[in-house]
């Protein structure tokens, strides 16, 4: 059974609020959607491959590339010394070399690039290098990094009230350690860049990236040419999930270097193994916690310490840790709290953005703590969660976050109550208790978890966007904006916004490839801001055109500009109805401007990175999910039987797309917490670098009964048509799967012992937790 519904009412006026298919849906399913590797290759195109480090930390004593140069089809080999400009691709701190220079810091770090006639020749040649190393001590574990004070950035802290005093005077205190693993982005389209040299030292790079402007900057600096000489284009990605925000820079810059020096087109396409060996993943987090609570489960004080696996360089680890700190409260008011976060430097891949960007790692900690508290008190975890919720909007004092922002639109009480009823949570809880009492091997578990997710970049200046809208004489409309399409439907939503403003059908609007020569200085398509920022920018451009057309119509037909309406492909002015195309033609001959640029900057944001306080988010997106699982306590195998999700998308721009995003995020988040395990061996080599050893969820892992609905709500913030973001927040919904598994394991005993289950909850981890409960219960 699959039930997906929405409660929004589509606009009767135009295209916003309607469930339109993805603008490339037909192209996707017919195999005619062009990705970077589908671009017809220019005559003389060469292919590149990277030569990778075999050591986790070492000095390169001798780099012998003679065999590489002599290999069949090889045209050239380049190293760090060949960059005309900067050999750096770090997005914030310049501590991340494009090609290693003298020292390698993880197994898989690129040292050189080989260019050959074919992709296969380049890959084979890259394996022929003879490298002598002087092995240096390597740190492979985040806790070891903490003990050795090995950090990529200074530790950060945030406190409110007096957590230590609250803990000292509490009658109930829980203290412990926990950890949650990282996650490979596993986009279907791997990292790729196709660099094509142009006249006057210009460079065109078609690249699978979420951040074309960042790629432009990295390439310009690497080649020592101005940004205006670099054009980066991205029509679409086959998935990104954060893995193509900063980390596509290495591939783009390396391809551009080869093309620049050889003056020939060069394509650098990563095979899956190389992609996973080179690129960073979601940050693994290790936690220490000490929490005071009362007999009802109300949290009185909390001390949290988080250490992430940053990898060998800073990349985006600082902002990830910041968001984790800001989301450690999730939906709960913490009156007295002390939070410390560290970005551990390890000799592994430099971890980076991944859907949620630290938010899931912060929020799951408080959920784990509440799950522990509930079991110790013999209460249903849902009741303890409700006890700790932020106050309703009129409850002053209990609606201010630990970083100082007011939770102005708290609907979590109503949303959870609705889901509790619609999912029959209480009745199913009783049925599961009865089932477990009579089933010694198969155990069922149930959990309801909520979420609150802040929308905006924590770095305030990134919250801006631009767009161009062109109206042609046949009434068709072309849009270009700074966001990138990675399958999430951003272009569809932007097209809907423009169609709505101009009163034309969606079929008349087309969105073109993201291009740095059209919209300059763009922010990454990240932080769930794609539609909020670019939709507003496109709306601004379309409204300017609409205003000009309205004034022109009044000049012809009379009436008041404020009363001119645009709908159903027509313009109504002073009781005269004119086809949009006809008025556009008249306007052209009257020399009225039929194109416009638009800009948007999110208002009311402020953030002090030193004190870690302010109002960094435009608004919050809420949601909750109920998951029911069954666990085989003899093997550790499990199955998700049913999932109910209720998500707050505000006034959804496109309910169908939003529901699809919720479903996808749920399964992806479930994979992070259950099947997807990253393993490094004692030498620092990632051993799970292919689908044979790294297991993402398959269709068989989806529940047979999957019910997704959108919560009826209107955004209090002036977002695009009062909608809410839907990219990252739903990834927190499958917390319910992990805690349902934990609930099932606890039933092996009397339900009062807390299973020592770490994430991901693989079959082996589940079996270890089951054994621990059995041993505890038998004593």
Angle at 662 between CA 658 and CA 667, to 5 degrees: 150
Residue 149 main-chain phi, psi, to 5 deg? 50, 40
> From CA 401, how far away is CA 384, in angstroms rounded?
19
Instruction: Tally DSSP H helices, then E strands, for the chain.
Output: 19, 30
Whether 663 is catalytic is no
The answer to whether the peptide bond before residue 726 is cis (omega within 30 degrees of 0) is no
> From CA 333, how far away is CA 29, in angstroms rounded?
46
> From CA 584, how far away is CA 279, in angstroms rounded?
49
Alpha helices per DSSP H over 505-609? 530-557, 580-589
Helix axes 490-502, 530-557, angle to 10 degrees: 20
Q: Which of 481, 495, 498, 492 is nearest to 533 (CA)?
A: 481
Element (H, E) at 454: strand 442-455
> From CA 108, how far away is CA 243, in angstroms rounded?
16
Pairing status of strand 46-52 against strand 477-481 = unpaired
Tell me the residue ranges of DSSP E strands in 45-109: 46-52, 58-64, 74-78, 103-104
Q: Is the CB of residue 273 less than 8 Å from the CB of residue 689?
A: yes
> From CA 751, how far away is CA 429, in angstroms rounded?
13
Longest dimension (CA), the chain: 91
Query: How many Cβ atoms from other residues are within 10 Å of residue 778's Cβ?
Result: 7
> From CA 503, how far away is CA 143, in angstroms rounded?
58
Q: Is the CB of residue 584 less than 8 Å from the CB of residue 614?
A: no
Q: Is the CB of residue 71 less than 8 Å from the CB of residue 124?
A: yes
> From CA 260, how far away is CA 267, in angstroms rounded?
12
Helix axes 655-673, 735-746, angle to 10 degrees: 40
> From CA 167, how far away is CA 303, in angstroms rounded?
9
The dihedral over CA atoms of 491, 492, 494, 498, expressed in degrees to the nearest 10, equals 130
Q: Which of 351, 328, 457 is nearest to 403 (CA)?
A: 328
500 Cβ contact partners less than 8 Å away, ≥ 6 residues apart = 11, 13, 14, 15, 16, 721
505 Cβ contact partners less than 8 Å away, ≥ 6 residues apart = 15, 499, 569
DSSP state of 761: -
Q: Which of 210, 280, 282 is nearest to 245 (CA)?
A: 210
Active-site residue identified among 105, 284, 628, 728:
728
The residues facing 571 across adjacent strands are 566, 578
Give the tokens for residue 221. 């600096």
DSSP state of 389: B
Task: Write out the catalytic residue numbers.
Answer: 728
């Amino acid at each position: 059974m699959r039930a997906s519904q929405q409660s929004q009412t589509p606009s009767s006026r135009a295209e916003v609020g309607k469930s339109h298919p993805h603008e490339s849906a037909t192209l996707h399913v017919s195999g005619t959607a062009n990705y970077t590797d589908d671009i017809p290759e220019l005559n003389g195109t060469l292919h590149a491959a990277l030569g990778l480090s075999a050591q986790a930390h070492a000095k390169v004593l001798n780099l012998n590339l003679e065999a590489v140069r002599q290999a069949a089809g090889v045209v050239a080999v380049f190293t760090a010394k060949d960059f005309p400009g900067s050999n750096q691709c770090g997005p914030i701190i310049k501590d991340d070399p494009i090609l290693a220079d003298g020292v390698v810091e993880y197994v898989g770090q690129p040292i050189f690039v080989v260019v050959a006639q074919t992709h296969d020749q380049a890959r084979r040649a890259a394996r022929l290098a003879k490298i002598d190393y002087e092995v240096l001590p390597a740190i492979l574990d985040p806790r070891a990094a903490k003990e050795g004070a090995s950090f990529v950035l200074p530790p950060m802290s945030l406190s409110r009230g007096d957590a230590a005093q609250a803990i000292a005077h509490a009658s109930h205190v829980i203290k412990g350690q926990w950890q949650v693993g990282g996650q490979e982005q596993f986009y279907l389209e791997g990292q790729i860049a196709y660099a094509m040299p142009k006249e006057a030292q210009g460079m065109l790079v078609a690249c699978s990236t979420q951040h074309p402007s960042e790629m432009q900057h990295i390439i310009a600096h690497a080649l020592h040419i101005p940004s205006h000489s670099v054009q980066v284009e991205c029509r679409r990605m086959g998935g990104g999930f954060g893995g193509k925000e900063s980390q596509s820079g290495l591939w783009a810059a390396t391809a551009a270097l080869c093309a620049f020096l050889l003056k020939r087109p060069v394509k650098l396409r990563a095979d899956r193994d190389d992609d996973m060996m080179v690129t960073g993943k979601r940050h693994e987090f290790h936690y220490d916690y000490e929490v005071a609570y009362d007999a009802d489960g109300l949290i009185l004080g909390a001390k949290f310490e988080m250490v992430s696996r940053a990898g060998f360089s800073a990349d985006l680890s600082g902002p990830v840790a910041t968001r984790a700190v800001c989301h450690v409260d999730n939906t709960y008011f913490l009156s007295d709290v002390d939070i410390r976060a560290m970005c551990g430097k390890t000799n592994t891949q430099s971890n980076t953005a991944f859907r949620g960007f630290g938010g899931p790692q912060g929020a799951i900690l408080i959920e784990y703590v509440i799950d522990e508290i509930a079991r110790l008190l013999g209460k249903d975890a849902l009741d303890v969660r409700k006890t700790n919720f932020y106050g309703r909007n009129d409850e002053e004092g209990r609606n201010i976050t630990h970083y100082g922002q007011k939770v102005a639109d708290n609907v979590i009480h109503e949303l959870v109550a609705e889901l509790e009823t619609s999912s029959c949570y209480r009745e199913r809880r009783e049925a599961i208790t009865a089932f477990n009492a009579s089933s010694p091997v198969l155990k069922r578990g149930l959990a309801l978890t909520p979420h609150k997710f802040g929308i905006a970049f924590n770095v305030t200046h990134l919250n801006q966007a631009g767009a161009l809208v062109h109206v042609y004489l046949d009434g068709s409309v072309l849009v270009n904006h700074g966001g990138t399409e990675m399958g999430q439907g951003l272009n569809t939503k932007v097209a809907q916004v423009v169609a709505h403003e101009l009163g034309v059908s969606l079929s008349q609007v087309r969105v073109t490839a993201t291009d740095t020569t059209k919209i300059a200085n763009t922010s990454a398509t990240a932080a769930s801001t794609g539609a909020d920022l670019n939709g507003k920018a496109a709306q601004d451009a379309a409204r300017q055109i609409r205003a000009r057309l309205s004034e022109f119509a009044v000049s012809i037909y009379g009436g008041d500009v404020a009363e001119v309406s645009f709908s159903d492909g027509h313009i109504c002015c002073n009781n005269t109805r004119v086809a949009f195309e006809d008025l556009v033609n008249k306007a052209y001959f009257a020399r009225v401007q039929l194109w416009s640029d638009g800009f948007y900057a999110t208002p009311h944001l402020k953030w002090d990175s030193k004190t870690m306080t302010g109002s960094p988010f435009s608004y919050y997106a809420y949601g909750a999910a109920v998951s029911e699982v069954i666990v085989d306590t003899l093997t550790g195998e499990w199955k998700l039987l049913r999932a109910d999700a209720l998500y707050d998308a505000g006034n959804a721009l496109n309910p169908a797309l939003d529901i699809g995003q919720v479903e996808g995020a749920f399964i992806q988040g479930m994979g992070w917490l259950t099947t997807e395990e990253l393993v490094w061996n004692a030498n620092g080599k990632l051993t799970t670098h292919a689908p044979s050893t790294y297991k993402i969820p398959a269709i068989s892992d989806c529940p047979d009964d999957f019910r997704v609905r959108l919560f009826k709500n209107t955004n209090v913030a002036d977002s695009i048509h009062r909608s809410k973001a839907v990219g990252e927040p739903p990834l927190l919904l499958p917390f319910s799967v992990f805690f349902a598994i934990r609930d099932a394991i606890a039933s092996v005993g009397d339900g009062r012992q807390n299973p020592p289950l770490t994430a991901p909850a693989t079959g082996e981890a589940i079996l270890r937790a089951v054994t621990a409960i059995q041993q505890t219960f038998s004593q």
